Homo-oligomer: A and B are copies of this chain.
Amino acid sequence: MADFLTKETILDTAEQVLRRFGPEKTSVVDVARALNVSHGTIYRHFSSKAALREAVAERWLHSISEPLKADFAQGGSSAERLRLWFEMLINIKHTLVQKDPELFSMYTTLVQESGEVVHDHIEELIKQIIPIIEEGIANNEFKSSDATKTATGVFLATARFHHPALAMEWASPSINQEFDIVWNVILSGIVK
């Protein structure tokens, strides 16, 4: 088996083992044992336990950010495109929790311990909405003079709906209504 061992296979197995034992108790030896290889074989692909855990976290975050890259909602206004991007992000996350709450919770713990990986993920997400805001500024729909700041502001102001540490509240029956209320404030602000 060791000869055909790919990074993907190791990550698949690591995910299962992490889920069974929890991020605190999983060792490289546990993953090697589940694959029936020596831990040296794992270390040829991942230099440390931390590197393996980070790779698992990274792959998961990538599965969230990748589908959002699609150039959807062409033809709509910039405000509509921006809202659709957030609805898709929120939908991806809420679906992950609903489908497998335990796995989501394991990943939330894992990801919170991988500071740099999370930072890159958030940067990647914000980078995806910057062009939508720039387009809105160019077509005179948005008033922002700094698209990066605006993108960051909108991302942070919607944290309640996509930050994994708040997942236990997403099942609330009023969550969609709350998103509408927040989105209204984000779009038009409160001052005259």
Q: Which of A22-30, A52-60, A155-163 contacts B (4 or more CB under 8 A)?
A: A155-163
What are the residues of chain B within 8 A of A79 when measuring CB–CB? 190-191
Bitwise, A167-185 to B at CB < 8 A (1) or not (0) is: 0100000000010011011
Across the interface, do A185 and B142 meet the contact criterion of CB distance under 8 Å? no
Across the interface, do B182 and A142 meet the contact criterion of CB distance under 8 Å? no
Across the interface, do B160 and A181 meet the contact criterion of CB distance under 8 Å? no
Q: Which 4 A-B pairs have the closest CB atoms?
A: A189-B189, A153-B185, A157-B157, A188-B189
CB pairs A–B below 8 angstroms (16 shown): A112-B168, A133-B190, A149-B184, A153-B182, A154-B185, A156-B178, A156-B181, A157-B158, A157-B160, A157-B182, A159-B160, A160-B163, A165-B165, A185-B186, A186-B190, A187-B189
Seed contacts A150-B185, A165-B168, A185-B189; 11 additional CB < 8 Å A-B pairs: A79-B190, A141-B191, A142-B192, A149-B181, A149-B184, A154-B190, A157-B158, A157-B160, A159-B166, A186-B189, A189-B190
